[in-house]
Structure 1
């Protein structure tokens, strides 16, 4: 019985740590201006985070982190109806990786038809 209680406490701690980290990354996205062009579930200027999370996997983290830092464009032009490139962002490599890891952990959404 004691082992079950300890296991439940550890699991609760890990879950709360994950929620706290997600809140930190969401705050970082806001601080760095990401939310000016992106939203979790709808197009703003750029694609919804949920669409990006569905299109890419953790294996794409380095490539996406580089795009966050250096900017990029053209990937979503057909879906969004415009080729507005994402500008370079003032983030460190670690911040870019944290943002991408957080983004990829968000609910995956189908692009609306």
Structure 2
């Protein structure tokens, strides 16, 4: 009986965590829209810049990816995905929003 309750409790926590992630993903996508990120980047398709799923795939397993991408979003840059430069997004996008966006992109 105790084991059954533990399994049920674990299942509830797992479902709650999944729902929380879905809410976070929706909030992050809304933040990307509000910050005009989706004018140049699609989630699954390249627009001007790379698709976010391609970015996530490229940096999968790279423990330094989050810090690198936060800096890239803040300062802008070019050359990694082609010749089209990405303009700097700081100071118009707050640092904590950039961190949220990068974490979301890497989770895709």
Corresponding residue pairs, total: 101
User: What is the TM-score with the length of structure 1 in the denominator?
Assistant: 0.83
- In structure 1, the gaps of 5 or more residues are 78-82, 107-113
Equivalent position of 2:95 in the other structure: 93
CA contact (8 A) 1:58 1:101 kept: no
The reply to whether residue 15 of structure 1 matches residue 18 of structure 2 is yes
> Aligned partners of 2:107 and 2:22: how far apart in 1?
11
Give 1:103's aligned residue. Answer: 105
In structure 1, the residue matched to 2:74 is 69
Please tell me whether the aligned partners of residues 58 and 104 of structure 1 are also in contact (alpha carbons under 8 angstroms). Answer: no
Query: Structure 2 stretches of 5 or more lacking a match?
Result: none
Superposed structure 1 runs of 4+ greater than 4 Å apart: none
Structure with the bigger RCO (C-alpha within 8 Å, sep 6+) is: 1
Superposition deviation, residue 58 in structure 1 = 4.4
Q: TM-score, normalised by structure 2?
A: 0.86
- RMSD of aligned residue pairs (Cα, Å): 1.2
